[in-house]
Structure 1
C-alpha cells in the first residue's frame, strides 16, 4: 500500500503509463479515505498495489524506510521508451545494475515513489 496525494492522477499513471488495470476502487466516507487497487492481473493470482487517498491530504514525506516497487518487464528498453512517450519520468535509463548483469531502469510515479523495472533474463 502506498499513500497518494491525488488518486485520479495516480490511477492514470499506473494504468495509462505502466499499463496496469484499475481492479477496484471504493470510498470509505466514515474514515475519509478511498482505496484503489491496480495491477497487471486479477488479485487472486497476481500481486497488486493498493493506492490509498486520505481525503484532504495532498502530499506525504516518503521517509527513508521505503525503497522502491520492483516490476519485471518483458522488454526493458521498450518499456522505458513507452513510459517516456507517455510522459513518465525516467530516473535511470535501462542498463546493467552496478554489481551484476541484470538490466534495470527506474521511473517515478506522480508522488515520487520509485519504481524499478527489471528486464526479463
Structure 2
C-alpha cells in the first residue's frame, strides 16, 4: 500500500494515516483520497509505541469478539504468502493449515488478522514464484453481526449497499454476506475463484447461527475498553443531504454534523459498530 494522506492532530496527541493501493493498475488510482474504495485508516495515539504493556484487542478473542479481519486479494496466492513469510511475518493460518487451502491469515504488527485470497484459481498459480503488489486489492473488512436480517436491512436500506455474494455454511453454523456499492457480482464462476475477489472496499458480515435469539448477546465494538478496531467509513456525494436522509431513516447517532468542533464528519451507530460519514473531497 501507499500512504495517500496523513492528518496530524498534535493538540489531541494522535495522528491518522490513510493507506491504499495506488499504482496505475489500482482500481481508483489517482483519485482524491476521499473518493476511493478500499482505504485503511490507521490511528496512532502518541506514546503507545513506548509503552511495553500497551496492546490492542484484535476482535477475535473472547470476550471481545466483533471485528474480524481485513482482506487483501492478490495475483498469485502462493507466491504472495511466501513473500510475507520470507519477510518474517507470523501467520494465524497458512495455506497448508486446515481444510481451506485457498485462504491464509497473516498477522500485522498489532495482531490484527489480514486475510489473503487469490484473484486466480490455485492451480494456475501454484508454480508461479513472483507476485506483483501493483495488482493487489484491499478487498473487504469483516464484521460479526448478531442478527443477519436486521444487519442486512440496515446496510442495504439505510446505507444503500448491494448484497453481492452470500456464502452459507450450515455444517459450520455460520453464513457470510458480502456487500458493497457499484455493479452486481455473479454468485459463482466456473473456475472456483471468489467472484468478488477482484473488488475493492467490500463489507463482509459474518453471522453465527443462533446469536439473534440470545437477548444478552452482543459484540465488542472496538471503541469500548479494550480498544482496537474503530469504525468503517462511508463517503457520500452531499454530506448534509445524506445525513438528513439518515435522520429520516431513524438512525442512532454517535455524532451529528452539528456536534462538537468537526462540522464535516458524522458518526452513525450501526448494529454492532460505528460508521463514519464524510463527504467526497472534503477533509474529515
Runs of 5+ consecutive residues of structure 2 not aligned to the other structure: 1-141, 184-195, 213-217
- CA distance in 1 between partners of 2:235 and 2:266 (Å): 10
Contact 1:102 1:118 in 2 (8 A): no
User: 1 or 2 for the larger relative contact order (CA 8 Å, sep ≥6)?
Assistant: 1
Assess, with a 3 A threshold, how the Cα gap between structure 1 residues 118 and 97 changes in structure 2: closer, same or farther: farther
CA spacing shift, 1:77–1:23, aligned 2, 3 Å: same
How much has 1:97 moved relative to structure 2? Answer: 8.0
Deviation per CA, 1:86-118: give whole Å up to 9, x if none.
1221221125985xx78111101122x100011
* Runs of 4+, deviation exceeding 4 Å: 95-98
The aligned counterpart of 1:3 is: 144
- Structure 1 length normalisation: TM-score? 0.86
Q: Which has the higher strand share?
A: 1
The answer as to whether partners of 1:20 and 1:38 remain within 8 angstroms in 2 is yes
Using structure 2 for the length normalisation, give the TM-score. Answer: 0.39
C-alpha RMSD of the superposition: 2.1
**Aligned residue in 1 for 2:202:** 48
Residue in structure 2 matched with residue 116 of structure 1 by the alignment: 276
The answer as to whether partners of 1:96 and 1:104 remain within 8 angstroms in 2 is no
Structure number with bigger Rg: 2
How many residues are paired up? Answer: 118
The alpha-carbon distance between structure 1 residues 96 and 90, as it changes in their structure 2 partners (threshold 3 A), is closer
